[in-house]
Amino acid sequence: MNTIGAILQRNLLNFIRDRGRLFGGIIMSLFFLFIFSFVMKSPTSGPAQPMNYLISGVIIMTVFQSSLNNSTDILSDIASGFMKEVLVAPITRAQISIGHILSSTVIAVLQGLLIVIVAMFMGLQLDLVHFSAMIVVMIVAGGTFGSIGLFLATISRNSSSFQIVSTMIIMPFTFLSGAYIPTTLMPKFLMPLVYVNPLTYITSIFRYITLRMESLPLPELAKQGVAFDIHGFMLTPFMGFCVIIIIGIVFFMLCVQKFNTADFSSVKVAKVHRR
């Protein structure tokens, strides 16, 4: 537990000291928030609460992108040679991978909370119950996509490959999840891609909570793009949340197993870090 805590503390310190990374994600989220707010200003088309609909999407996108991209920490450790020093320590590789997933989750949730604070000044209203539920969803999202990010980082083994792979995932996942563009406005031929996108379900449960849709009947939830009618089978937001938890567990096991068997001895050490 001390090992996991030490990795968490180190990654948090690195994140706080890296101001470009700290403010970059927040500024990008705010940029999307203000740009899309002009697009969704009219309540006559799309969702009934366009601004709150957008805000909830931006918050969960911040958590998603942050948790996925935080896996670059482990690539930096590999490139600098620090990982080899960690591996010779009397700790298990499972502890190292869990520490990195935990730090990705914590950093993603913290960035999401910063956007929540800004969103509250823009009209997002929350009570303690809904706020607590949001935290739970952000933790699950951070853990799931942090596990996916670590799995991709372990396979990629260098920053350039990871950036290419993560960009290929982030862009389609984002625009096919309903976070910015409601899934109800998408053409039917894209719907199979929407249904297999795990981000669709984390967005729907998050929006279900933040927009307080508990009182709405199932047909209305489907109309709002929060529930999904898949060939007659109605997939509720809670079912989607269970799907995300299962995906998170699968990728957590995969990335721990992959990290346990990865050979870091063939990775070249950057000259600048050899001094």
User: For the chain, which residues score pLDDT lower than 70?
Assistant: 1, 22, 25, 36-50, 157, 264-275
Count of Cβ atoms closer than 10 Å to residue 81 Cβ: 15
pLDDT digits 0-9 by tens, 235-260: 999 999 999 999 999 999 998 888 88
pTM of the model: 0.84
- What pLDDT score does 132 carry? 92
- What pLDDT score does 47 carry? 57
- What pLDDT score does 241 carry? 92
pLDDT digits 0-9 by tens, 94-143: 888 888 899 989 999 988 888 888 888 877 778 899 899 999 999 999 99
- What pLDDT score does 210 carry? 87
Cβ-proximal residues to 9 (8 Å cutoff; 6+ apart), any chain:
none
- What pLDDT score does 48 carry? 59
- What pLDDT score does 274 carry? 43
CA 218 to chain centre: 26
Element of type H or E holding 1: none
Cβ-proximal residues to 33 (8 Å cutoff; 6+ apart), any chain:
54, 55, 58, 115, 118, 119, 122
Which token pair is 249? 């567990």
Q: Which residues pair with 234 in a beta bridge?
A: 229
Helices 128-156 and 237-261 pack at an angle, to 10 degrees, of 30
- What pLDDT score does 114 carry? 86
- What pLDDT score does 266 carry? 58
